[in-house]
């Protein structure tokens, strides 16, 4: 009896260990160079899902660089981001990176000049490399910048932590950091390029307003996490060019150019229009997709889609509102006409 009890205990311990490993998130690493590492560290610190951000030096020659000699050794100022991929995706980190650098500058960043201040994305594996290349291509094609995107995308190498006084500099030296930030020209540049944030424009109405505004199905899907019937929903077969926005807030989510027929019965997309407008959450072994500003339940994302992302964003039609190209300007989404050059010409 004692023998069987012993094996039972061992068996239960093994099962418990497997369960623990399957339910515990494994953190991943991302490394970016974007000029002054004080600014880059503050840009990523505090993001939901980011566990730790460290300022440091990478991609040089010799060991143990210091602030006094890292530039001479060919190192670049960079940050190492430790993040939980179940809470924030690498694509979302890339979006944060692009919005905190001038990717067209070959000689440094803003007031900081020299190769040691250049912009670089250091990938850890092939998946990160593909994501970074795709992200860079999307940015170039977006027309946001008139000059070529020159940010390098290279394999990561040894990363050395910077001195303690460089870590979390923005928090520990608020006044000095603000003076530096203002004088560098960073914020003025970002405001000119990106304007106001999406969060300030797209808001979620009150529950009372939502019940009046939405159909019973759209309310059930977006507010109660329900799933509509396949194939019979509104946008499953829609092939018209345009964009899809959150039916609750109007927040831009997807574009027809990324829509494909998946044979699943729901609208499917290879990627979001703005990754920063999408929030991913763990949902019993699946990855749920929600809108950022309105927190609407949209659907799920799966890793069985076509190239280039190999992702399938499976979305409920009832969570979306489609705006055709001809109505983009009238509806206040005129800036997206540039994505439909042929269709946009008459307007």
> What pTM value is reported for the model?
0.58
CATH architecture of the domain covering 201-344: Beta Complex (2.170)
Task: Return the exposure string of 122-141: e unless at least 16 CB atoms fall within 10 Å of the residue's CB, then b.
Answer: bbeeeebbebbebbbebbee
Kindly state the tokens that stand for 184. Answer: 């560098």
Q: Is the pLDDT of residue 311 over 90?
A: yes
Q: What percent of the chain has pLDDT over 70?
A: 89
Lowest mean pLDDT of 91-105, 296-310, 333-347, name the range. Answer: 333-347
- The active-site residue, picked from 139, 273, 314, 320, is 314
Residues present in the chain in total: 347
Q: What is the mean pLDDT of residues 57-85?
A: 96
Alpha-carbon span 187 to 193, nearest angstrom: 10
If you average pLDDT over every residue of the chain, what do you get?
88
Please tell me the predicted confidence (pLDDT) of residue 314.
97
> Beta strand 50-58 with 268-269: parallel, antiparallel or unpaired?
unpaired
- The mean pLDDT of 16-44, rounded to a whole number, is 78
236 is known as an active-site residue: no
From the list 36, 43, 132, 298, the catalytic residue is 36
Contact between 179 and 169 under an 8 Å Cβ cutoff? The reply is: no
Segment 195-219, tens digit of pLDDT: 754 444 688 999 999 999 999 999 9
pLDDT digit string, tens, across residues 270-307? 999 988 889 899 888 899 999 988 999 999 999 999 98
- Based on the residue annotation, tell me whether 39 is a catalytic residue of this protein: no
DSSP 214-269: S-HHHHHHHHH---PPSSSSTTTT---SEEEEETTT--EEEEGGGEE--SSSS-EE
The pLDDT value recorded for residue 259 is 95
Beta 252-255 vs 278-283: how paired, if at all? unpaired
In the chain, what are the domain boundaries? Answer: 28-195, 201-344
- Tens-digit pLDDT profile for residues 100-138: 999 999 999 999 999 999 999 999 999 999 999 999 998
Listed in order, strand segments (DSSP E) in 96-199 are 108-109, 112-113, 119-123, 152-155, 159-161
The CATH number that domain 28-195 falls under is 3.30.1060.10
Strand partners, 77: 57
């Amino acid at each position: 009896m004692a023998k069987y009890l012993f094996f039972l205990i061992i068996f239960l311990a093994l099962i418990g260990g497997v369960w623990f490993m399957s339910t515990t998130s494994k953190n991943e690493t991302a490394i970016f160079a974007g000029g002054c590492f004080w600014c880059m560290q503050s840009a990523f610190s505090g993001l939901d899902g980011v566990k730790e951000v460290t300022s440091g030096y990478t991609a040089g020659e010799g060991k143990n660089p210091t602030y006094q000699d890292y530039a001479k050794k060919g190192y670049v100022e960079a940050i190492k981001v430790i993040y939980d991929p179940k809470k924030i995706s690498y694509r979302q980190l890339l979006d944060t990176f692009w919005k905190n650098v001038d990717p067209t500058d070959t000689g440094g960043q803003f007031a900081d000049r020299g190769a040691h201040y250049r912009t670089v994305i250091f990938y850890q594996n092939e998946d990160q490399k593909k994501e970074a290349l795709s992200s860079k291509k999307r940015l170039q094609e977006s027309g946001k910048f008139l000059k070529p995107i020159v940010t390098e995308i290279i394999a990561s190498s040894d990363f050395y932590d910077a001195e303690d006084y460089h870590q979390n500099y923005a928090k520990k030296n608020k006044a000095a950091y603000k003076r530096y930030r203002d004088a560098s020209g960073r914020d003025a540049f970002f405001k000119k390029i990106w304007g106001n944030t999406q969060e300030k424009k797209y808001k979620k109405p009150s529950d009372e307003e939502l019940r009046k505004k939405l159909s019973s199905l759209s309310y059930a899907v977006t507010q109660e996490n329900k799933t509509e019937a396949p194939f019979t929903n509104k946008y499953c077969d829609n092939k018209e060019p345009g964009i899809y926005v959150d039916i609750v807030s109007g927040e831009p989510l997807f574009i027809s150019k990324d829509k494909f027929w998946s044979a699943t019965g729901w609208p499917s997309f290879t990627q979001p229009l703005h990754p920063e407008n999408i929030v991913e959450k763990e949902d019993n072994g699946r990855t749920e997709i929600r809108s950022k500003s309105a927190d609407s339940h949209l659907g799920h994302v799966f890793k069985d889609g076509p190239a280039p992302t190999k992702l399938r964003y499976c979305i409920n039609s009832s969570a979306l509102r489609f705006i055709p190209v001809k109505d983009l300007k009238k509806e206040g989404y005129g800036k997206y006409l540039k994505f439909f050059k042929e269709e946009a010409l008459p307007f």
